[in-house]
Amino acid sequence: MDNNNSILTRNPGTEFRSDVFSKIKINRSAVEKRCAEYSARRSIKKQDQAAWLMKAISLIDLTTLSGDDTKARVKRLCRKAINPLNDKLVKNLSIESLKLSTAAVCVYHDMLSAAKKSLEGHNINLAAVSTGFPAGLSPLPLRIEEIKYSVAAGADEIDIVISRRHVLEGNWEDLYSEVKSFRKASGKAHLKTILATGEIGNLANIAKASQVCMMAGADFIKTSTGKEPTNATLPVSLVMSRMIKDYYELTGYRVGFKPAGGVSDSKTALQYMIMMKEELGRRWLEPDLMRFGASSLLGDIERQLDHYSSGYYSAHYRHPLA
């Protein structure tokens, strides 16, 4: 679809247009049939698989969003983001020159200072969840101030949660205004809008919410907080990627996609990457347009690459997250 090296122009958003999405209907059975084809028609093996998995590492937002997070844990996570593979494996794969790292580290606001200090001098973005994450039910003025607070503390990216009630009640202009206010508050920091797809009803709602968030200026649309009973799934992701394609064809602006929650193994990550390449093109396999919200995924990728290098599967404990 695009030149792989093309410079990304940030999505400025558009005026609210209900005609773009009001008549959207989704055939769930057709979506599920299409999703079943990804792994069946495309099998990536050996050297090619290793290359795809190294690319996947560069797409990860290495994340810790637990109530018991500490500065020490976040610092260890940042060190893992900087050096995602152990030195021996890097040497065995002869990839020293790649200087491989994850795309970003994602934390709560209180952990930003520890993460920022640990990432100094490295080309790794710092993301903060915001707007009353994960429920998004705090007063709107407080959610807007929370964004500003995190940007002032050094966040390069803000992962916000939308008000699910706007989607469930069909208040699309309210959703547009809300996300637009979040975009304004984020300033130069890129805005990832979390739809919480497991809580907004059906695929048609997901499609409409995706369009409204992009109209409001979202840089990424993201599936989940990782805290819902159902998080990222291929059918949901296919619908969202199709909406990204429609928005690009309508406006000329590319919007990124971030599956989060449940993407914990290499096989699943490869399915998402295949989907993005087939639906949107090679350009969407770069960190400015695709991310994985994950923690345990990196450990599994490291284990798979170790198997590719040695021919043997190592124990999981040999590939700790941090």
Catalytic residue positions, numbered: 159, 222, 258
Phi, psi of 104 (to 5 degrees): -160, 165
For residues 129 and 107, what is the distance between their CA atoms, to the nearest angstrom?
A: 6
Torsion (CA) 177, 180, 185, 187 in degrees, nearest 10 = -170
